[in-house]
Amino acid sequence: MQIYKVGGAVRDRLLGKPVTDIDWVVVGATTEEMLAKGFRPVGADFPVFLHPKSGEEYALARTERKSGRGYGGFTFHASPEVTLEEDLIRRDLTINAMAEDNLQNLTDPYHGQQDLENRLLRHVSPAFAEDPLRVLRVARFAARYAALGFTVAPETLDLMRQLSESGELEALTAERSWKEISRALMEDQPQVFIEVLRECGALKVLMPEVDALFGVPQPEAHHPEIDTGVHTLSVLEQAARHKQPLTVRWACLLHDLGKGLTPEEEWPRHIAHEHKGLKLIKAVNERFKAPKDCQELALLVGKYHTHGHRALELKPSTLLELLQSFDVYRRPQRFEEFIAACEMDARGRKGLEQRSYPQADYLRGAANAARTVAVQPLLENGFKGPELGEAIKRERLKALKTYKEAASA
Ligand code: ATP
Ligand code: MG
């Protein structure tokens, strides 16, 4: 048997990027031979094994044929006769379809190295169109390598457009899509992921609620960029620049969905867009079965981001409601993430990227003020049950009044 390094490890070495996980392909071997060498099988359907020591993935060279809709609709053929070239041709991009042996001799039948030099994300063969997940993968690689100058080859974009129009994208499972979306959002330029999906028509299918924001104007006084879609991309860009976690990036992407529902007569104003957007945020959350912390933060940021911006003008009673809604006493981290999302929203505007955001410290101070209310004295005064809850609220309100007065003095 011959063993080759494939995929990301080869690509990233040639790019001079750190290689994290290595995928291997094994040519000329049978399952029985692999098991005899101590490899552990991964799944029932795939001829993939884990190395007994390193735990890295070793796949038998295989060919694939599409036999139905979605990813379940694939049949694999692995046998010792399958060649390296046959295995490489089923891969998505030419830059991912190179192999190298233990002497670093490159096998590159589809000219991946040339595309690396030309900074092109190009599909390997027309079989690209057999798996709609590749649309998301290409957009994710575009986001990852945008800083190096990579773009999607026009003929690949055409195929992605055909896939988006064919209805095949709808066959993707929530799990497979979310895995790509969440990884793409964590790249350095997540806005490029959304841009590429939009360019090939996939955004309209996957997240029509986000697609609908493009072409919707906002008041120039607050939004020099005017367009709500452009604003959303800038907010995402800021979130990545400030190394925000996935929860914050997801909330940034979805925070303004309500603006897509504003009747044109009301443009460029968006009255109550925070509230109107909630059902759309919920729909997108559920479509991709986003993790609970992402879902929750997106809904809270959608509902309250304007409160965040107006923090210094909020009445103590409104401040208290905000803090209660976030359960800031038990979930301080979530409130920090809310503040971060609001700040990214404020900076994701043309020419305002460097602005200061005093609301952040003001909100933190308010949370601290409310938190300092001690429960023990109230218990000692005989409060219990719902009355205790009311008494705590009253004390917190008092603390917030004092805080606000001190802050504006
Ligand atoms: P990363 O750095 O994100 O891990 P990678 O290229 O290693 O990038 P993997 O998802 O680990 O990506 O997949 C390993 C290789 O398997 C890819 O380089 C590609 O050749 C192939 N591959 C993975 N998923 C697909 C797919 N859906 N369609 C075609 N080829 C794929
Ligand atoms: Mg990999």
Q: CA 149 to CA 118: how far, in whole Å?
A: 9
Q: Is the CB of 57 under 6 A from ligand 1?
A: no
Q: Is 256 in the pocket of ligand 1 (CB under 6 A)?
A: no
Ligand 2 midpoint to CA 220 (Å): 44
pLDDT at position 76 is: 82
Identify the nearest ligand to the CA of 12 by its number: 1
- Of ligand 1's atoms, which has the minimum distance to the CA of residue 71? 27
Ligand showing the shortest atom-to-Cα distance for residue 110: 1
- CATH tag for 1-110 (out of 3.40.50.1000, 3.30.460.10, 3.60.9.10, 3.40.50.720): 3.30.460.10
Give the number of other Cβ atoms within 10 Å of residue 292's Cβ: 10
pLDDT at 400: 98
Q: Which of 96, 138, 169, 172 to mutate to test the pocket of ligand 1 (most atoms within 8 A of CB)?
A: 96
Ligand 1 atom closest to the CA of 137, numbered from 1: 27
pLDDT at residue 65, as a whole number: 79
Judge contact between 366 and 403, C-beta under 8 A: yes
Give residue 67's pLDDT: 72
* Residue having the nearest C-alpha atom to atom 21 of ligand 1: 91
Ligand 1 in reach of 186 Cβ (< 6 A):
no
Q: 94 CB less than 6 Å from ligand 1?
A: no
Looking at the CA of residue 23, tell me the nearest atom of ligand 1: 14
For the Cβ of 91 lying below 6 angstroms from any atom of ligand 1, the answer is: yes
Ligand nearest to the CA of 172: 1
Pocket of ligand 1 contains residue 8 by CB under 6 Å: yes
Domain ranges of the chain: 1-110, 370-408
177 lines ligand 1 (CB under 6 A): no
pLDDT string in tens for the chain (409-residue length): 899 999 999 999 999 999 988 999 999 999 999 999 999 999 777 789 999 999 999 999 999 877 766 555 678 888 899 999 999 999 999 999 999 999 999 999 999 999 999 999 999 999 999 999 999 999 999 999 999 999 999 999 999 999 999 999 999 999 999 999 999 999 999 999 999 999 999 999 999 999 999 999 989 999 999 999 999 999 999 999 999 999 999 999 999 999 999 999 999 999 999 999 999 999 999 999 999 999 999 999 999 999 999 999 999 999 999 999 999 999 999 999 999 999 999 999 999 999 999 999 999 999 999 999 999 999 999 999 999 999 999 999 999 999 999 998 8
Ligand 2 centroid distance, CA of 175 (Å): 18
Counting atoms of ligand 1 from 1, which one is nearest the CA of 134?
A: 27
Pocket test for ligand 1, best of 91, 93, 168, 188 (most atoms within 8 A of CB): 91
Q: Which of 5, 19, 23 to mutate to test the pocket of ligand 1 (most atoms within 8 A of CB)?
A: 23
Is the pTM above the cut of 0.85?
Answer: yes
CA of 96 from ligand 2 middle (Å) equals: 9
115 Cβ below 6 A of ligand 1:
no
Determine whether the shortest distance from the Cβ of 260 to ligand 1 is under 6 A. Answer: no
Question: Which pLDDT belongs to residue 177?
Answer: 97
Residue 73 pLDDT: 67
pLDDT of residue 46: 75
Q: Tell me what pLDDT residue 44 has.
A: 72
